[in-house]
Structure 1
Amino acid sequence: MPAAATTIAPAVLATPLPADRLDSLARLTDGLDSNSLWWLSGYAAGLARSGAGTLATAVAAALPEARSSERLTIVYGSQTGNAKRLAEQLASQAEAAGLGVRLLRADAYPTRELKNERLLYIVISTQGDGDPPDDARGLVEFLAGKRAPELKNLSYAVLGLGDSSYPQFCAIGSKLDTRLAELGATRLFARGEADLDFETVSTPWLQQALTQAKETLKPAAAHLATVTPLRPLPAAPAFHRDAPFAAELIANRRLIARGTSARGAYSADKDIRHIELSLEGSGLHYQPGDALGLWPRNPPELVQAVLETLELDGDASVSHGGHNLPLRQWLGEKRELTKLARPFIASHAAHARSDELNRLLAPDNAAQLADLLSRTQVIDLLQRYDGQWSAEELVAALRPLTPRLYSIASSQKAVGEEAHLTVAHLQYESEHGPRWGAASHLLAAAEEGERLPVFIEHNERFRLPADGNRDIVMIGPGTGVAPFRGFVQDRAADGAGGRNWLLFGNPHFRTDFLYQTEWQAALKSGQLHRLDLAFSRDQAQKVYVQHRLREHGRDLYDWLQGGAHLYVCGDATRMARDVHAALLSVIAEHGGKSAEAAEEYLNELQQQGRYARDVY
């Protein structure tokens, strides 16, 4: 059992709820009769059964179940929130049309019910280079496995979201679409594949989905009971993704010194910033694990370089998508310049009449294309391959600028109306001049008093345990440590009894130990119970957090067996995969399990909400 377990007097009812939630519960139930209390217990059971934590799912559980032949089921798998928003939009439109609808996150979908479904829409993103979002891993594995049933009575459609900067663009949506057809289901209409500017694909797909659902289903209002909400639904926040809040920058300090490369250029990973923004007056609230969205602006120097390279007039007026703006404003505020995408390479290949670029786009050159996408910005492509563009063509071909999400490195219980971030400033020298990351450079260059457009992106999959007596294990190398600063602050504010174990890694102890004094103070005060460090380049043999996991495998397995929750945050391409492999190794070795049983054990933790990842 965890060392932090406490003994509770027999007269006191054990509860996982913190004191403030118990007070709210007492006020809620005060004066309710027995019938109301029984109804409330069923409502709460529906919440627990759904596991999704959304009102739509909870209410669906409390309502009489519509027959599957008269119901639309919408399942979403989302890593950054876009797929979730689109699924919720479709569910809201279907409900307004009088259709019976249930909306479920993929990890809350009861796969045993799949054989009885009649109409299913799946909205799912692809994470990184061909991986499912964490909340959809179980569903993807189930459908790919031998236990997946025949689905001859099912009609379905799939909307995939992805990033064309990766070779396996929308791979998960494609995989599910193909697999459902293999199982005998009927595809109602073509799969949608949406890039980062997803609205151009998602808007017509959602309209087609709604039209098809209306034709397939009868309005189900007659089958649903009327339910009075326990309390009024909270009003939509005044500030959100499409209406950001202008937050004042109140602190911007380096956590480590900038280093230099052999060429004398600044290293890309050596300027890490601690950023503090004021949310005062916004009404915005967040929980530990949530992200702050920032709408970036491209550096003026980069915009000018594009204009000069293409010999275009920045003051020229350009009309596109119902907006008329100067070209300089399009490039600075509305178009993506620091992230290169495959469609733009294809467009520039045509404008430059480049056989080399066309060869890169061939299917058998996927590795070379991936390398180009990872190392090249728009300006590099324009300078390397001469091509003639008009202002109108350029604006139409470039992707819309999208917000960047940063894990929040604070708890509002500790900092009030503020949000703190841990930001790696991307800045390096290329052969043609300096290059930057749009959002990180905006933050790093901002001065106190400046206002930046932000919003809150909630992450229901990455939450502290409701039971404060549960132990937590936090694995966060580099800037992946950010949310765990908020976790520890929050648990300290609540007086949580569970232990907190942090595993942190970076190249060097001397220069790269982010929040060193804070972690040392937390250890001394008892807010942090264990800290294991992996500084990869302080010795001849590189040591990473996954090595520390294996080294302390016995302790880790004991914590997990005692009910601990496990969290991973950081790089998705290498670190998260290596950590996942290390966890499987630890579970197999210290749990005496086969590789298959270890995988099942970890999947079970994920389904229970005890293994959560925030990877990017």
Structure 2
Amino acid sequence: MTIVPLIPDNAPFSVEQRAWLNGFLAGVLNRGAPVPGAAPVDSKRSLLIAFGSQSGNAESLAKRLAREATGRGFVARAAGLDSLQPADLVKEQNVLVITSTWGEGDMPDNAVSFWDSINQNGSSPKLDNVKYSVLALGDKNYADTFCLAGKKLDERLAELGATRITERVDCDVDFDDLAKKWSTSAFAALSGSDSSDMSDQSDSSETGYTKKNPFPARLVANDNLNARGSAKDTHHIALSLAGSGLSYEVGDALGVYVQNCPEVVDAIITSHAFDPNAEATLPDGGTAPLRDALLKHYEVRNLFGKTPAAGLTLTAFLENLRKLQPRLYSIASSLKAHPEEVHLCIAAVRYSADGVPHKGVASTFLSDRLALGDTTGIYFHAANHFRLPTDLTKPVIMVGPGTGIAPFRAFLEEREATAAPGKNWLFFGDQKRACDFLYHDQIIEWTQKGFLTRLDTAFSRDQEEKIYVQTRMLQAANELWQWLEEGAHFYVCGDAKRMAKDVDEALHSIIQTAGGKSADEAAAYITQMKKEKRYARDVY
């Protein structure tokens, strides 16, 4: 088997150019070296793996499967849905789609334009000769909209006449096993073979510390970023990378392995009258004492405060639990400014519901329970959709209220370290200036030096009328429009349900009013910004 390299994401090519080059290399390098027992590569063996990705999971999976498919004898390429038109599917004929869902059942940002183009009656070509299957990524905690983007794409492709080669698979956050079964079945269907006969060609290019082999990072700093009088509890967390050999880019996320609160676990065990030392089966196989299993391996946050069912056995109890997943956090630092460290900005979540106190599992693990000097498993999650412009002269506009400041602290540290000449504009908001201005000293120093060209703050509770970051955007509409016309990249980080949507609406309004465009023209302007990777969101 010929190992086919993929053009790196940071290579000086556009998305479309990288996709074409990947397909070309796959064809050339496999032309004389087919997989043993596989049919010769021809047009029927070309394969497009298209992805709609908001946080990077779908993109990473699509690229991994493209490498695997190449090893199986396909001429395979992975491409974002934002680089495709429906007519491209007709040319490809064999198409696998991997997409996440975000917000309230929305398409990922890079899938919106494609969805709009295939969802307009009469304008999309028929896909009668296309064979396809869909893998949908989602989170069952959002039951009403679970995998909705994937479901919509699957149904629409079928309506346009495409042939579904294998049923859509809907994945929860722990998607690796289901994704493997789906891809094996899809590859077999496209090859005309039995999936049981498919040899394991899984990509094994990941080495070193990964999600499956996390690095034990030591906590070296835990500082409260709020001053006296704040209603919030926000922490600056620093973890050491010394000895790991790991690196990251600003914009990436950090995966953190966490543990449940011992008080919550003990209360659950007591309420069910279980033996804390009883042998418990673990989600990935093996066993451990029940208390250890509930602390480190199972999700228990939804159980606390519930009345246990009478006569529930330990086996039945564990069967109803989900695996405890690592949490992803936006990275708040640049390696150029903090060698061998990675920083996070975390709001500790605490609230009461029906008289029962609740704590955010991950946020309070990091803020309260992980002691200085202790270690926890970490890995890096690439966010290729959320990158600074490669042209350092380009202006950047960053909108990050609350802990949404995290990636923009990293961006600004990176821009300062690289002496990027482009202008920088930050919109930051929170409740009260006196106690909630996160990273105040660093931000003010950047402003005084002129490195941070413009700073607009919105502290909602410092006056009777609440002011938010989108308010400040609208007030600065003319200058913001000028920056966009100069080629500025526009970034948003924070709450997806309210803030990100309000900011998006404000951006449309600014382009209409300051830019003198109609609503349709403003929408087209923003669509073009997304295609050019000039409008990126890291929202949750």
Contact 2:82-2:531 within 8 A present in 1 as well: yes
Partner of 1:48: 13
Q: Distance in 1 between matches of 2:174 and 2:69?
A: 24
- Is structure 2 residue 182 aligned with structure 1 residue 205? yes
1:468 and 1:435 mapped to 2: Cα distance? Answer: 45
Equivalent of 2:132, from 153, 156, 159?
156
125-134 or 314-323: bigger deviation: 314-323
Sort the Cα spacing of 1:614 and 1:118 in 2 relative to 1 into closer, same or farther, 3 A: same
Report the residue type matching 2:304 in the other structure.
Answer: I
Greater mean alpha carbon deviation, residues 535-544 or residues 170-179: 535-544
Distance in 1 (CA, whole Å) between partners of 2:237 and 2:416 is: 22
Return the offset for 1:45.
Answer: 13
Q: Deviations over 1:45-92 (max 9, x none)?
A: 996242597xx7743255668865331111112223332333234323
Distance 2:228 2:52 in 1: 38
The correspondence for 2:252, drawn from 277, 282, 290, is: 290
In the alignment, which residue of structure 1 is the partner of 2:102? Answer: 127
Aligned partner letter, 2:315? E
Equivalent in the alignment of 2:267: 305
1:400 aligned onto 2:400: no
Does residue 1:101 correspond to 2:76, yes or no?
A: yes
> Where does the alignment leave 5 or more consecutive residues of structure 1 unmatched?
1-41, 218-233, 261-266, 339-376
Report the alpha carbon displacement of residue 332 of structure 1 after superposing the two structures with TM.
1.1
For 2:411 and 2:377, locate their aligned partners in 1 and report how far apart those are by CA, in whole Å: 25
- Distance in 1 between the 2:339 and 2:300 partners? 35
CA contact (8 A) 2:220 2:240 kept: yes
Contact 1:57 1:104 in 2 (8 A): no
Q: 1:58 to 1:245 in 2, by over 3 A?
A: farther
Alignment RMSD, CA only? 2.5
Query: Which deviations, in whole Å up to 9, do the C-alpha atoms of 1:119-150 show, x marking residues without a partner?
Result: 11101111132011222222222221243211
Report the counterpart of residue 550 of structure 1 in structure 2: 474
Q: How does 1:410-421 map to 2 (within 5 A)?
A: 410-421=333-344
| Pair 1:208–1:387, CA change in 2 (3 A) | farther
Secondary structure of the corresponding residue to residue 145 of structure 2: coil
- Tell me the matched-pair count: 510
Distance 1:303 1:257, change over 3 A: farther
Change (3 A) 1:51 1:333: farther
1:243-295 C-alpha deviation (Å, 9 max, x unpaired): 111111111010004768xxxxxx5xx10000111111111111110111101
Distance 2:420 2:508 in 1: 29
SS in 2 for 1:540: coil
The runs of 5 or more residues in structure 2 that have no matched partner are 1-6, 29-40, 195-203
Distance 1:416 1:61, change over 3 A: farther
Q: Distance in 2 between matches of 1:515 and 1:462?
A: 21
Question: Any residues of structure 2 matched to 1:216-615 within 5 Å, and which?
Answer: 236-257=206-227, 270-319=232-281, 321-338=284-301, 377-380=302-305, 382-383=306-307, 386-430=309-353, 433-445=356-368, 446-615=370-539
Structure-2 residue corresponding to 1:3:
none
Deviation digits for residues 487-542 of structure 1, max 9, x if unmatched? 11111111111110000011111111111111110011122110001111111111
CA distance in 2, matches of 1:442, 1:293: 14
Q: 1:592 to 1:387 in 2, by over 3 A?
A: farther
Greater shift, 208-217 or 416-425, is seen at 208-217
Q: Report the equivalent of 1:86.
A: 61
Q: Which residue type is aligned with residue 292 of structure 1?
A: L
Deviations 1:390-413 (A, max 9, x none): 221222221111111111111111
Residue 60 (structure 1) aligns with: 23
Contact 1:249 1:448 in 2 (8 A): yes
Kept in 1: contact 2:345–2:403 (CA 8 A)? yes
| Higher RCO by CA contacts (8 Å cutoff, separation 6 or greater) | 1
Shift of 1:236: 3.8
Partners of 2:56 and 2:384 within 8 A in 1:
no
Q: Normalising by structure 2, report the TM-score.
A: 0.89
Measure the CA separation in 2 of the matches of 1:91 and 1:69.
16
| Correspondence 1:14-29 to 2 at 5 A | none
Which range is displaced more, 62-71 or 183-192?
62-71
Distance 2:211 2:484 in 1: 37
Maintained 8 Å contact 2:85/2:114? no
Deviation string 1:577-616 (CA, Å, 9 cap, x unpaired) is 1100000000011111111110110010011010010001
User: In structure 2, do the counterparts of structure 1 residues 305 and 45 end up closer, same or farther at CA, with 3 Å as the change threshold?
Assistant: closer
Q: Which residue of 139, 150, 167 corresponds with 1:190?
A: 167
CA distance in 1, matches of 2:495, 2:184: 35
Deviations 1:174-231 (A, max 9, x none): 10001001111111121111112323532322221121122189xxxxxxxxxxxxxx
Distance in 1 of aligned mates of 2:449 and 2:160: 57
Q: Secondary structure at the match of 2:504?
A: helix
Counterpart Cα distance in 2 of 1:259 and 1:288: 32
Q: TM-score, normalized by length of structure 1?
A: 0.78
Is the CA contact 1:471–1:563 (under 8 Å) kept in the aligned structure 2?
yes
Percent identity, aligned pairs only? 40
Counterpart-to-counterpart distance in 2, 1:111 and 1:461: 22
Report how far residue 312 of structure 1 moved: 1.5
1:448 deviation in Å? 1.6
Q: Secondary structure at the match of 1:413?
A: coil
